[in-house]
Amino acid sequence: MTHPRHASRAPLEGAVPAGRPDRPRGASRLALGALALGLLAGPAQAAADASERQAWREQAVALEHGEGVARDMAAAMRLYCQAALAGDAPSAWNLGWIHANGRGVPRNDGLAAHWFARAALLGDDKAEAMFQRLGVPADKPDCVREAEAREARLAADQAEQQRQAEEKQALSTAYRAHVDTAEQQRIMKIVYKLAPRYGLEPGLVYAVIRAESNFNVNAVSDKNAQGLMQLIPETAARFAVSKPFDAEQNIRGGMAYLRWLLSYFRGQVPLAVAAYNAGEGAVDKYGGVPPFAETRDYVRRIQRFFAITEHPFDARLTAPSPLLLQPVSAQR
Protein backbone atom coordinates (compact mmCIF):
# COMPACT_ATOMS: atom_id res chain seq x y z
CA MET A 1 0.00 0.00 0.00
CA THR A 2 1.31 3.45 -0.91
CA HIS A 3 1.22 5.95 1.94
CA PRO A 4 0.56 9.57 0.89
CA ARG A 5 3.17 12.11 1.96
CA HIS A 6 4.72 9.93 4.65
CA ALA A 7 5.71 6.83 2.72
CA SER A 8 9.17 8.06 1.71
CA ARG A 9 10.19 9.41 5.11
CA ALA A 10 13.22 8.01 6.89
CA PRO A 11 12.52 5.11 9.26
CA LEU A 12 12.07 5.73 12.95
CA GLU A 13 15.26 6.64 14.71
CA GLY A 14 16.66 3.48 16.24
CA ALA A 15 14.01 1.33 14.62
CA VAL A 16 14.79 -2.26 13.91
CA PRO A 17 14.75 -3.06 10.14
CA ALA A 18 11.62 -4.76 8.90
CA GLY A 19 13.38 -8.08 8.44
CA ARG A 20 14.70 -8.15 12.02
CA PRO A 21 11.89 -7.56 14.50
CA ASP A 22 13.00 -7.04 18.09
CA ARG A 23 10.70 -9.84 19.29
CA PRO A 24 9.24 -13.00 17.73
CA ARG A 25 6.76 -12.28 14.99
CA GLY A 26 4.25 -14.70 16.48
CA ALA A 27 4.25 -12.82 19.78
CA SER A 28 3.69 -9.53 17.95
CA ARG A 29 0.81 -11.02 16.01
CA LEU A 30 -0.70 -12.13 19.30
CA ALA A 31 -0.40 -8.58 20.62
CA LEU A 32 -1.88 -7.16 17.44
CA GLY A 33 -4.67 -9.71 17.59
CA ALA A 34 -5.49 -8.75 21.17
CA LEU A 35 -5.49 -5.10 20.22
CA ALA A 36 -7.73 -5.91 17.26
CA LEU A 37 -10.45 -7.07 19.60
CA GLY A 38 -10.53 -3.61 21.14
CA LEU A 39 -10.35 -1.79 17.82
CA LEU A 40 -13.01 -3.85 16.13
CA ALA A 41 -15.33 -3.28 19.08
CA GLY A 42 -14.66 0.44 18.94
CA PRO A 43 -16.68 3.23 17.37
CA ALA A 44 -18.11 2.78 13.92
CA GLN A 45 -17.84 6.09 12.10
CA ALA A 46 -20.88 7.09 10.09
CA ALA A 47 -20.87 5.25 6.79
CA ALA A 48 -18.53 6.89 4.29
CA ASP A 49 -17.59 5.71 0.83
CA ALA A 50 -14.04 5.62 -0.52
CA SER A 51 -14.35 9.02 -2.17
CA GLU A 52 -15.41 10.67 1.09
CA ARG A 53 -12.56 9.06 3.00
CA GLN A 54 -10.10 10.16 0.33
CA ALA A 55 -11.46 13.72 0.42
CA TRP A 56 -11.03 13.90 4.19
CA ARG A 57 -7.51 12.52 3.89
CA GLU A 58 -6.54 14.98 1.16
CA GLN A 59 -7.85 17.89 3.22
CA ALA A 60 -5.87 16.59 6.17
CA VAL A 61 -2.68 16.34 4.08
CA ALA A 62 -3.13 19.94 2.90
CA LEU A 63 -3.65 21.17 6.45
CA GLU A 64 -0.72 19.16 7.79
CA HIS A 65 1.70 20.56 5.23
CA GLY A 66 0.16 24.00 4.66
CA GLU A 67 -0.52 23.35 0.99
CA GLY A 68 -2.91 26.04 -0.26
CA VAL A 69 -4.23 26.60 3.26
CA ALA A 70 -2.78 27.76 6.55
CA ARG A 71 -1.02 24.91 8.33
CA ASP A 72 -3.25 23.54 11.09
CA MET A 73 -2.03 20.32 12.65
CA ALA A 74 -4.96 19.95 15.03
CA ALA A 75 -7.49 20.22 12.18
CA ALA A 76 -5.42 17.83 10.07
CA MET A 77 -5.41 15.21 12.80
CA ARG A 78 -9.15 15.52 13.32
CA LEU A 79 -9.72 14.82 9.62
CA TYR A 80 -7.22 11.96 9.61
CA CYS A 81 -9.03 10.47 12.60
CA GLN A 82 -12.42 10.88 10.93
CA ALA A 83 -11.17 9.11 7.83
CA ALA A 84 -9.35 6.40 9.79
CA LEU A 85 -12.40 5.58 11.88
CA ALA A 86 -14.37 5.32 8.63
CA GLY A 87 -11.92 2.66 7.41
CA ASP A 88 -9.17 4.63 5.64
CA ALA A 89 -5.89 2.78 6.22
CA PRO A 90 -3.60 5.54 4.80
CA SER A 91 -5.06 8.06 7.27
CA ALA A 92 -4.42 5.66 10.15
CA TRP A 93 -0.86 5.18 8.86
CA ASN A 94 -0.32 8.95 8.64
CA LEU A 95 -1.45 9.41 12.23
CA GLY A 96 0.86 6.62 13.35
CA TRP A 97 3.76 8.25 11.52
CA ILE A 98 2.98 11.70 12.98
CA HIS A 99 2.98 10.39 16.55
CA ALA A 100 5.98 8.10 16.04
CA ASN A 101 8.11 10.94 14.67
CA GLY A 102 6.76 13.86 16.67
CA ARG A 103 5.66 15.73 13.55
CA GLY A 104 3.93 18.84 14.90
CA VAL A 105 3.02 17.02 18.11
CA PRO A 106 5.08 15.50 20.93
CA ARG A 107 6.26 12.02 20.06
CA ASN A 108 4.02 9.35 21.56
CA ASP A 109 4.79 5.72 20.76
CA GLY A 110 1.63 4.47 22.46
CA LEU A 111 -0.60 6.56 20.18
CA ALA A 112 1.54 5.64 17.19
CA ALA A 113 1.06 1.95 18.07
CA HIS A 114 -2.70 2.41 18.11
CA TRP A 115 -2.80 3.95 14.66
CA PHE A 116 -0.33 1.52 13.10
CA ALA A 117 -2.36 -1.35 14.56
CA ARG A 118 -5.56 0.11 13.15
CA ALA A 119 -3.93 0.54 9.73
CA ALA A 120 -2.69 -3.05 9.90
CA LEU A 121 -6.17 -4.30 10.72
CA LEU A 122 -7.37 -2.42 7.65
CA GLY A 123 -4.94 -4.44 5.53
CA ASP A 124 -1.68 -2.47 5.63
CA ASP A 125 1.25 -4.89 6.00
CA LYS A 126 3.81 -2.09 6.43
CA ALA A 127 1.78 -0.73 9.34
CA GLU A 128 1.96 -4.14 11.02
CA ALA A 129 5.75 -4.02 10.71
CA MET A 130 5.79 -0.55 12.28
CA PHE A 131 3.60 -1.79 15.11
CA GLN A 132 6.11 -4.58 15.73
CA ARG A 133 9.05 -2.20 15.76
CA LEU A 134 7.51 0.08 18.33
CA GLY A 135 7.06 -2.78 20.78
CA VAL A 136 4.90 -0.77 23.21
CA PRO A 137 1.28 -1.10 24.36
CA ALA A 138 -1.16 0.94 22.30
CA ASP A 139 -2.85 3.96 23.89
CA LYS A 140 -6.31 5.02 22.85
CA PRO A 141 -6.31 8.49 21.21
CA ASP A 142 -8.64 11.20 22.47
CA CYS A 143 -10.52 11.37 19.16
CA VAL A 144 -11.29 7.65 19.44
CA ARG A 145 -12.50 8.07 23.04
CA GLU A 146 -14.71 10.96 21.91
CA ALA A 147 -16.10 8.88 19.04
CA GLU A 148 -16.82 6.02 21.46
CA ALA A 149 -18.58 8.42 23.81
CA ARG A 150 -20.69 9.80 20.96
CA GLU A 151 -21.57 6.29 19.84
CA ALA A 152 -22.46 5.29 23.39
CA ARG A 153 -24.74 8.33 23.72
CA LEU A 154 -26.34 7.56 20.36
CA ALA A 155 -26.88 3.93 21.36
CA ALA A 156 -28.39 5.02 24.68
CA ASP A 157 -30.67 7.51 22.91
CA GLN A 158 -31.77 4.87 20.41
CA ALA A 159 -32.41 2.38 23.19
CA GLU A 160 -34.50 4.95 25.07
CA GLN A 161 -36.46 5.80 21.93
CA GLN A 162 -37.08 2.11 21.34
CA ARG A 163 -38.19 1.67 24.96
CA GLN A 164 -40.57 4.61 24.70
CA ALA A 165 -41.95 3.33 21.39
CA GLU A 166 -42.55 -0.12 22.87
CA GLU A 167 -44.16 1.39 25.96
CA LYS A 168 -46.42 3.58 23.83
CA GLN A 169 -47.33 0.60 21.67
CA ALA A 170 -48.21 -1.42 24.76
CA LEU A 171 -50.33 1.40 26.17
CA SER A 172 -52.09 2.05 22.87
CA THR A 173 -53.06 -1.60 22.42
CA ALA A 174 -53.84 -2.53 26.04
CA TYR A 175 -57.56 -2.11 25.35
CA ARG A 176 -57.55 -5.17 23.05
CA ALA A 177 -57.61 -7.49 26.05
CA HIS A 178 -61.03 -6.02 26.94
CA VAL A 179 -62.71 -6.50 23.55
CA ASP A 180 -64.40 -9.64 24.77
CA THR A 181 -67.91 -9.86 23.30
CA ALA A 182 -69.18 -10.42 19.78
CA GLU A 183 -70.92 -7.03 19.80
CA GLN A 184 -67.75 -5.24 20.87
CA GLN A 185 -65.82 -7.03 18.14
CA ARG A 186 -68.44 -6.00 15.57
CA ILE A 187 -68.27 -2.37 16.60
CA MET A 188 -64.49 -2.33 16.79
CA LYS A 189 -64.33 -3.52 13.18
CA ILE A 190 -66.06 -0.24 12.31
CA VAL A 191 -63.60 1.64 14.50
CA TYR A 192 -60.61 -0.03 12.84
CA LYS A 193 -61.97 0.92 9.43
CA LEU A 194 -62.65 4.56 10.29
CA ALA A 195 -59.87 5.45 12.76
CA PRO A 196 -57.13 5.96 10.15
CA ARG A 197 -59.37 8.38 8.21
CA TYR A 198 -59.73 10.54 11.30
CA GLY A 199 -56.14 10.13 12.48
CA LEU A 200 -57.24 8.54 15.74
CA GLU A 201 -55.86 5.70 17.82
CA PRO A 202 -58.49 2.92 17.95
CA GLY A 203 -57.75 2.51 21.66
CA LEU A 204 -58.90 6.07 22.38
CA VAL A 205 -62.15 5.52 20.48
CA TYR A 206 -62.68 2.21 22.30
CA ALA A 207 -62.22 3.94 25.67
CA VAL A 208 -64.69 6.71 24.79
CA ILE A 209 -67.35 4.27 23.52
CA ARG A 210 -66.93 2.13 26.62
CA ALA A 211 -67.22 5.13 28.94
CA GLU A 212 -70.12 6.69 27.03
CA SER A 213 -72.44 3.78 26.23
CA ASN A 214 -70.63 0.55 27.07
CA PHE A 215 -71.20 -0.45 23.41
CA ASN A 216 -74.97 -0.02 23.52
CA VAL A 217 -75.97 1.36 20.09
CA ASN A 218 -79.39 2.40 21.45
CA ALA A 219 -78.16 4.15 24.58
CA VAL A 220 -79.88 7.44 25.50
CA SER A 221 -78.83 9.57 28.47
CA ASP A 222 -81.02 11.82 30.63
CA LYS A 223 -79.51 14.72 28.63
CA ASN A 224 -80.64 13.11 25.36
CA ALA A 225 -77.10 12.07 24.34
CA GLN A 226 -77.61 9.26 21.85
CA GLY A 227 -75.92 6.17 20.51
CA LEU A 228 -72.53 4.59 20.94
CA MET A 229 -70.58 7.82 21.40
CA GLN A 230 -73.48 9.64 23.09
CA LEU A 231 -73.88 12.57 20.72
CA ILE A 232 -76.27 15.27 21.88
CA PRO A 233 -78.45 16.64 19.06
CA GLU A 234 -76.34 19.80 18.72
CA THR A 235 -73.11 17.82 18.33
CA ALA A 236 -74.78 15.38 15.94
CA ALA A 237 -75.91 18.30 13.75
CA ARG A 238 -72.48 19.92 13.99
CA PHE A 239 -70.86 16.81 12.50
CA ALA A 240 -73.62 15.86 10.04
CA VAL A 241 -74.99 12.85 11.91
CA SER A 242 -78.62 12.31 10.90
CA LYS A 243 -79.00 8.77 12.27
CA PRO A 244 -77.41 8.73 15.74
CA PHE A 245 -78.48 5.11 16.38
CA ASP A 246 -76.71 3.86 13.29
CA ALA A 247 -73.42 2.50 14.63
CA GLU A 248 -71.16 3.64 11.79
CA GLN A 249 -72.72 7.08 11.45
CA ASN A 250 -72.56 7.67 15.21
CA ILE A 251 -68.92 6.61 15.33
CA ARG A 252 -68.13 8.92 12.41
CA GLY A 253 -69.65 11.85 14.29
CA GLY A 254 -67.93 10.98 17.55
CA MET A 255 -64.58 10.57 15.81
CA ALA A 256 -64.98 13.87 14.00
CA TYR A 257 -65.62 15.59 17.33
CA LEU A 258 -62.68 13.85 19.00
CA ARG A 259 -60.40 14.84 16.12
CA TRP A 260 -61.52 18.46 16.45
CA LEU A 261 -61.02 18.46 20.23
CA LEU A 262 -57.53 17.01 19.87
CA SER A 263 -56.70 19.78 17.42
CA TYR A 264 -58.19 22.43 19.72
CA PHE A 265 -56.24 21.13 22.72
CA ARG A 266 -53.16 20.33 20.64
CA GLY A 267 -53.10 16.61 21.30
CA GLN A 268 -53.55 16.74 25.08
CA VAL A 269 -55.77 13.73 25.66
CA PRO A 270 -56.97 14.56 29.22
CA LEU A 271 -58.20 17.97 28.07
CA ALA A 272 -59.78 16.58 24.91
CA VAL A 273 -61.72 13.83 26.68
CA ALA A 274 -62.72 16.17 29.51
CA ALA A 275 -64.15 18.46 26.83
CA TYR A 276 -65.92 15.49 25.20
CA ASN A 277 -67.69 15.00 28.52
CA ALA A 278 -68.20 18.56 29.77
CA GLY A 279 -67.71 20.69 26.63
CA GLU A 280 -64.66 22.63 25.48
CA GLY A 281 -66.08 25.79 27.00
CA ALA A 282 -65.95 24.27 30.49
CA VAL A 283 -62.33 23.20 30.02
CA ASP A 284 -61.40 26.70 28.86
CA LYS A 285 -63.32 28.28 31.74
CA TYR A 286 -61.61 26.21 34.43
CA GLY A 287 -58.19 26.21 32.80
CA GLY A 288 -58.00 22.44 32.63
CA VAL A 289 -60.10 19.43 33.59
CA PRO A 290 -63.20 20.95 35.25
CA PRO A 291 -63.73 20.27 38.95
CA PHE A 292 -66.80 18.15 38.31
CA ALA A 293 -66.76 14.71 39.93
CA GLU A 294 -68.40 13.19 36.86
CA THR A 295 -65.84 14.67 34.46
CA ARG A 296 -62.84 13.77 36.57
CA ASP A 297 -64.10 10.23 36.94
CA TYR A 298 -64.74 10.15 33.18
CA VAL A 299 -61.13 11.12 32.44
CA ARG A 300 -59.89 8.40 34.81
CA ARG A 301 -62.08 5.80 33.10
CA ILE A 302 -60.70 6.79 29.70
CA GLN A 303 -57.13 6.57 30.97
CA ARG A 304 -57.76 3.12 32.40
CA PHE A 305 -58.01 1.80 28.84
CA PHE A 306 -55.99 4.46 27.01
CA ALA A 307 -53.20 5.74 29.26
CA ILE A 308 -51.39 7.80 26.60
CA THR A 309 -51.66 11.50 27.42
CA GLU A 310 -50.52 12.96 24.08
CA HIS A 311 -52.06 12.12 20.72
CA PRO A 312 -51.19 13.25 17.18
CA PHE A 313 -53.44 16.06 15.94
CA ASP A 314 -54.19 18.09 12.83
CA ALA A 315 -53.40 21.72 13.63
CA ARG A 316 -55.17 22.84 10.46
CA LEU A 317 -58.62 22.05 11.85
CA THR A 318 -58.83 24.89 14.34
CA ALA A 319 -56.89 27.48 16.29
CA PRO A 320 -55.68 26.27 19.70
CA SER A 321 -57.58 26.76 22.91
CA PRO A 322 -56.74 30.06 24.66
CA LEU A 323 -55.72 28.15 27.77
CA LEU A 324 -52.79 26.65 25.86
CA LEU A 325 -51.28 30.12 25.56
CA GLN A 326 -50.56 30.04 29.29
CA PRO A 327 -48.85 27.37 31.44
CA VAL A 328 -51.65 25.10 32.58
CA SER A 329 -51.67 21.56 33.91
CA ALA A 330 -54.06 19.23 32.14
CA GLN A 331 -54.57 17.48 35.46
CA ARG A 332 -55.52 20.56 37.46
Q: Known catalytic residues?
A: 212
Q: Which of 199, 213, 185, 219 shows the shortest CA–CA distance to 260?
A: 199
